[in-house]
Amino acid sequence: MKSLPSLQIGQHIARYPIIQGGMGIRISGARLAAAVANSGGIGIISAVALGLNSPYFDITQPNGRKRREQFFDANRLALIDEIRAARALSPDGILGINAMVVAQDYETIVRTAAEEGINLIISGAGLPLQLPEYTADYPEVALVPIVSTRRAAHILCHKWKRQYGRVPDAFVVENPNSAGGHLGAKLEELGDRALDTEQTIPELVDYLQETGLSIPIIAAGGIWDRADIDQMMAIGASGVQIGTRFITTDECDADIRYKEFHLHAQPDDVVIVSSPVGRPGRALRNAFSERVIANSPELEKRCFANCLKSCKCRDQQESFCIIQALDQAARGDIENGLVFSGSNAGRAERIMPVAELMAEIVA
């Protein structure tokens, strides 16, 4: 079998065409990102709400304006810590962050990461239309939007070229029918095969050919092994982004109970929940996700930190606080927290070191 090619994104060349997907909150932190980068892939720190579980913020404090301002400051300080920790563990690896456009402090997070010498920024949950502006002083930082359709890619290329004279350094194309976390499709669109990467990647390849743009495409969602990678490369991807498979590793930053919950999950434990972000999310069945699916009155509808630009919990007192639910799960309360997962849950046989997992995937 041919060995996998390297992957160039902007000025950065990874030995293997594998990006570990950013997973919030604190599922992919410094440890996981550095381990992947040291194994020849690209390691991504999820920059979502890092302040929550940091020395800079106490979620149990009473509600109030001061506390919310402190939350954003805590996010920034905790992000600096996380990037420095990852860099200390992987001095020469390629490290990135994943930042969500819908986060209130998106601009600060992106600017901070660039100042801290991050190599690339992957950005979704909204179109990152102003990303080049926030990183203008750091041209070496590669910018990678997440898109689900050719149309979204076109809007970004058009606007970035006109306004900033550049195009994205790569696109992550995520399959909403299999990826974990928040999905780039509406609830009623899920299951539509037209949204599968088998359809959307060739469409994007055509678009890039028509417009003469040479932008690598990274396929995400449902990728598990070398055969999946080869399949994505055959339809025009230059690399893949893998999330769920990296959860069951020693270095994954989540609590061991979170990893074991993933390890023991079955394929039919994967469910779709409506998130206050206004998008569906793919997660594992537990007491919490069952409460969300049943729209149970027991769900706490208190906004903890005003973290999102648009949120049903804060604006309509519906749903639940997404960061509180994700944080609770990451810290090991896997019954009362939200455990995001891709459709591949339950396929891991054991928790293993990242280096071993990477060797297995690329073999």
3-class DSSP assignment, residue 134: helix
Of the two residues 211 and 279, which places its CB atom closer to ligand FMN in the complex? 279
Question: Should residue 46 be labelled a site residue for ligand FMN when binding is judged by CB under 6 A?
Answer: yes
Both tokens of residue 89? 């563990």
Question: Should residue 324 be labelled a site residue for ligand FMN when binding is judged by CB under 6 A?
Answer: no
Taking alpha carbons only, the member of 281, 283, 324 closest to residue 302 is: 324
Of the two residues 24 and 88, which places its CB atom closer to ligand FMN in the complex? 24
Both tokens of residue 137? 């002083």
Of the two residues 116 and 253, which places its CB atom closer to ligand FMN in the complex? 253
Question: Should residue 184 be labelled a site residue for ligand FMN when binding is judged by CB under 6 A?
Answer: no
- List binders of ligand FMN among 68-107 (CB under 6 A): 98, 100
> CA distances (Å), 199 to each of 32, 175, 229, in order?
31, 10, 16
Q: Which residues pair with 121 in a beta bridge?
A: 97, 143
Distance CA 255, CA 251 (A): 10
Residue 357: its H or E element: helix 354-362
Q: How big is the site for ligand FMN, counted in residues (CB under 6 A)?
A: 29
Question: Should residue 241 be labelled a site residue for ligand FMN when binding is judged by CB under 6 A?
Answer: yes
Burial class for 297, CB neighbours closer than 10 Å (0-12, 13-18, 19+): exposed
Question: Should residue 148 be labelled a site residue for ligand FMN when binding is judged by CB under 6 A?
Answer: no
Measured CA angle at 31 (ends 28, 35), to 5 deg? 100
> Cβ of residue 158: shortest distance to ligand FMN, in angstroms?
22
Q: Which residues pair with 143 in a beta bridge?
A: 121
Q: Which stretch binds ligand FMN (CB under 6 A): 184-192, 221-229, 300-308, 351-359?
A: 221-229
Binder of ligand FMN out of 201, 204, 223, 354 (CB under 6 A) = 223
Of the two residues 22 and 280, which places its CB atom closer to ligand FMN in the complex? 22
- List binders of ligand FMN among 4-43 (CB under 6 A): 21-24, 27
Question: Should residue 179 be labelled a site residue for ligand FMN when binding is judged by CB under 6 A?
Answer: yes
Measured CA angle at 179 (ends 17, 213), to 5 deg? 50
Pair type for strands 270-274 and 280-284? antiparallel
Q: Which residues contact 349 (CB under 8 A, 6 or more apart)?
A: none
Binder of ligand FMN out of 75, 342, 348, 361 (CB under 6 A) = 342
Q: On the CB side of 78, how many CA atoms lie within 13 Å of its CA?
A: 23
Distance CA 302, CA 142 (A): 37
Q: Which stretch binds ligand FMN (CB under 6 A): 9-17, 86-94, 177-185, 354-362?
A: 177-185
Binder of ligand FMN out of 341, 346, 358, 361 (CB under 6 A) = 341
3-class DSSP assignment, residue 222: coil
Binder of ligand FMN out of 17, 29, 41, 124 (CB under 6 A) = 124
Of the two residues 116 and 174, which places its CB atom closer to ligand FMN in the complex? 174
Question: Should residue 176 be labelled a site residue for ligand FMN when binding is judged by CB under 6 A?
Answer: no
Of the two residues 90 and 248, which places its CB atom closer to ligand FMN in the complex? 248
Binding residues for ligand FMN (CB under 6 A): 21-24, 27, 46, 48, 98, 100, 124-125, 146, 174, 178-181, 220-223, 241-244, 340-342, 344
